[in-house]
């Protein structure tokens, strides 16, 4: 079992908070599509013949591509890899890019999961974030998706936005949960280096919210999603039972994946590699049958740290059996000894043979995870 991630770097405009690799879309995608397909061909043995259980089109903004362009990539993946019959095929969408006809074509092409970057239902906040859509377009996109036959719909929201208090955040949650969506990803705003928000913060024009307000908004998220029947299976991800994102779950469980496209990462359990974050160099290299990437061989300690960083964020937590089998007695003893104080503080609990963060622990998860990192 393995996954494939395809990075589509094109955006019509750059959001003020985003630090993912992206370029302004100029409408001509032919060379890029050919390069993505060429990379998939050159790297078809990377996953050692494992069957493909998830395919994920991320970005950037994959919804700027035409239906035939998306279909060409998907057909090539099916030709090159052993794709499972019930493969989860996700595409990230901007609400203003879609309409009923386009969505119907997407469904016919084989896509079965949609992930909408809605972020907020407040039009003023959307402008502040430099999102292209408005709340009316977001509502129509979800309605059109359901009419087109999509059942597996996910929504992304952002909280912790300066000047946008708990009352407004609660409104965003209430509106989102009225829809028959199966999945919600909710991320606390992080001001990343190189973004417009980072520049505004340095200039004193933007101030991050305080810890108390941040905790209030996180608690609201936990309460509202639980009352709507959602399971928090990862700190930022919530889903109805049976609708967890298979693709993201594979990341957290250290399943192999191939990343295709500029800046895309790949992981095969023994090494990690990432493509160059430059679209022209990426395309030119592949036109000459070359790959431009960097690679890191993963030591036992690095793999241990990566497992801790991903597993502690999930509802499954640290599987002590997995640790004992994969990281020897040193790793097992290290975790057992360190976990005692967090259990005594009520930040962590033992459930079966797993160590799991409590709700209080989730609020300071970054601090707890950093203490478990083996240096």
Specify the CATH number for the domain of residue 6: 3.20.20.70
Question: Are residues 215 and 332 both part of a single domain?
Answer: no
* Residue 188 reports pLDDT greater than 90: yes
Position 187 scores a pLDDT of: 97
Whether residue 281 lies inside any domain: the answer is no
Is pTM beyond 0.75? Reply is yes
Q: Are residues 103 and 212 in the same domain?
A: yes
Which residue has better confidence, 82 or 164? Answer: 82
Greatest Cα pair distance in the chain:
59
Question: What is the distance between the alpha carbons of residues 63 and 58, in angstroms, rounded to a whole number?
Answer: 9
Indicate if 305 and 241 belong to the same structural domain.
no
Is 320 domain-assigned? yes
| Chain mean pLDDT for the chain | 96
Please indicate, yes or no, whether residues 244 and 315 belong to a single structural domain of this protein: no
Q: Is residue 284 part of a domain?
A: no
Q: What's 314's DSSP letter?
A: B
Q: DSSP letter string over 75-102?
A: HHHHHHS-EEEEEEEEEEE-GGG--HHH
Domain boundary among 231, 252, 273: 252
For residue 375, what pLDDT band results from cuts at 50, 70 and 90?
Answer: confident
309 and 160 in a single domain? The answer is: no
Is 64 in the same domain as 165?
yes
Q: How many domains, the chain?
A: 2
In a domain, 121, yes or no: yes
Structure tokens at 10: 């094109």
The answer to whether residue 329 scores a pLDDT higher than 90 is no
User: Is 313 found in the same domain as 227?
Assistant: no
279 within domain boundaries: no
Q: Is residue 362 part of a domain?
A: yes
Going by C-beta distance under 8 Å and a sequence separation of 6 or more, which residues neighbour residue 28?
none
Q: Say if residue 185 is in the same domain as residue 115.
A: yes
Residue 267 within a domain: no
Domain range for 116: 2-252
pLDDT tops 90 at residue 133: yes
Residue 80: inside a domain: yes
Same domain, 166 and 73: yes
Q: Residue 62's closest CA among 130, 117, 15?
A: 117
Q: Specify whether 112 is located in the same domain as 220.
A: yes
Residue 348 has pLDDT above 90, yes or no: yes
Q: Which of these three, 252, 276, 309, is where a domain ends?
A: 252
Same domain, 139 and 234: yes
135-147 and 100-109 helices, crossing angle to 10°: 50
Domain match, 191 and 319 both: no
Residues forming a β-bridge with 242: none
Q: Give the separation between CA 240 and CA 230, rounded to whole angstroms.
A: 5
Give the residue from 252, 282, 317 where a domain finishes. 252
pLDDT tier, 97 (very low <50, low <70, confident <90, very high otherwise): very high
Q: What is the pLDDT of residues 7-61, one digit of tens each?
A: 999 999 999 999 999 999 999 999 999 999 999 999 999 999 999 999 999 999 9
Which of 221, 166, 163, 220 lies closest to 197, judged by CA? 163
| CATH number assigned to the domain comprising residue 342 | 1.10.10
């Amino acid at each position: 079992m393995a996954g494939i991630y395809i990075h589509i770097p094109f955006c019509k405009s750059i959001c003020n908070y985003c630090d993912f690799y992206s370029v302004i879309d100029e409408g001509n995608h032919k060379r890029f599509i050919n390069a993505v397909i060429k990379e998939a061909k050159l790297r078809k043995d990377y996953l050692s013949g494992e069957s493909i259980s998830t395919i994920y089109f991320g970005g950037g903004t994959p919804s700027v591509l035409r239906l035939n362009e998306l279909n060409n990539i998907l057909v090539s993946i099916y030709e090159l890899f052993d794709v499972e019959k019930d493969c989860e095929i996700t595409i990230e969408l901007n609400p203003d890019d879609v309409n009923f006809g386009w969505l119907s074509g997407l469904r016919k092409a084989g896509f079965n999961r949609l992930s909408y970057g809605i972020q907020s239902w407040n039009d003023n906040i959307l402008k502040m974030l430099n999102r292209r859509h408005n709340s009316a377009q977001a509502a129509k996109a979800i309605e059109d998706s359901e009419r087109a036959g999509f059942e597996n719909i996910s929504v992304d929201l952002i909280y912790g936005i300066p000047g946008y208090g708990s009352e407004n955040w609660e409104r965003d949650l209430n509106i989102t949960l009225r829809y028959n969506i199966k999945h919600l990803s909710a991320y606390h705003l992080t001001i990343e280096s190189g973004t417009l928000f980072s520049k505004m913060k340095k200039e004193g024009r933007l101030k991050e919210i305080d810890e108390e307000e941040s905790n209030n908004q996180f608690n609201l998220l936990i309460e509202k999603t639980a009352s709507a029947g959602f399971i928090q299976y990862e700190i930022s991800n919530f889903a109805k039972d049976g609708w967890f994102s298979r693709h993201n779950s594979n990341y957290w469980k250290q399943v192999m994946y191939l990343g295709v496209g500029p800046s895309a990462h790949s992981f095969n359990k023994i090494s990690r590699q990432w493509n160059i974050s430059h679209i022209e160099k990426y395309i030119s290299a592949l036109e000459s049958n070359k790959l431009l990437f960097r690679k890191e061989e993963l030591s036992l300690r690095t793999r241990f740290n990566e497992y801790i960083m991903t597993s502690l964020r999930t509802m499954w937590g640290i599987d002590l059996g997995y640790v004992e089998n994969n990281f020897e007695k040193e790793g097992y003893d290290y975790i057992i000894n360190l976990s005692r104080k967090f259990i005594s503080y009520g930040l962590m609990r033992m459930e079966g043979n797993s160590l799991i963060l409590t709700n209080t622990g989730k609020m300071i998860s970054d601090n707890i995870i950093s203490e478990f990192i083996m240096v």
